[in-house]
Each structure stands twice: as C-alpha cells, then as structure tokens.
Amino acid sequence: MTIASLKALAGLVPLGSQADVRRFRPNIVIGMDEAEPGFPRSAGGCGSATRWVAVTEPCERCSFTALAQGELPFANEVLHAIARHGGGGFGALASVVEAPPIQHGDAVSLI
C-alpha cells in the first residue's frame, strides 16, 4: 500500500479520516507521495539493492474494510469508493524475492 493511495482514497470519501491505514492492515506502507490518478498499486515490485518485493496482483477488498474497528466507525463509503475508483482493489499482494528483512525507513523503488 502507498501513502499516495491513502491520500487519493481520503479525497474520495466524505470524511477523509475514514481512509485510515488501520482499515487495511498492510504489511508494508510505501511513502510514495507523488500525485498519480487512481490508486497506485500496479508496479512490478519494489526494493533496494538487497531487498526486493514483487507485486503479484491487486488486493481485492471485502466488506471488512468498512467495518468499525476500535475507534474507527463503520464507513461503507470507503468500500464504495474503492469499488468505484479502484475496481474493487486497493493495495497490492506481493511476495518476497530477496530474503533479507525489509525494515522501517528502507528506500524502495517502484519498477
């Protein structure tokens, strides 16, 4: 998942705060702030010289994305925005290509 995707989604729902990263439980969040149309998620992979992750497919979202979680309220607008603007997908599924662990702050490149 990218910061750019979260910002794009926040602009599509009535209360931008409903597009909280905790709704999606991503393993990796890439700090990609560049403005791109839609939800950037179709890159072939990311990594530094020793850490590579290959994007395998878009992550299809289900109704759990809209459910109340902790202090986050029920927000069906989130799921509706993903369906309208992302074809039902938000984020990406990926697999590790190189074994060294990815750590907070590692530089990545989308290819």
Q: Residue 46 belongs to what H/E stretch? A: strand 45-47
Copy the structure tokens of residue 38.
Answer: 């839609």
What mean pLDDT value characterizes the chain? 78
Stronger pLDDT, 13 or 36, i.e. the higher one: 13
User: Model pTM?
Assistant: 0.75
Give the pLDDT of residue 49.
Answer: 45
Give the pLDDT of residue 42.
Answer: 45
Sketch the domain layout of the chain as residue ranges: 3-96
Give the pLDDT of residue 78.
Answer: 92
84 Cβ contact partners less than 8 Å away, ≥ 6 residues apart:
12
Per the CB < 8 A criterion, the answer to whether 81 and 29 are in contact is no
pLDDT tens per residue, range 17-56? 789 999 998 888 877 655 555 565 544 445 444 556 777 8
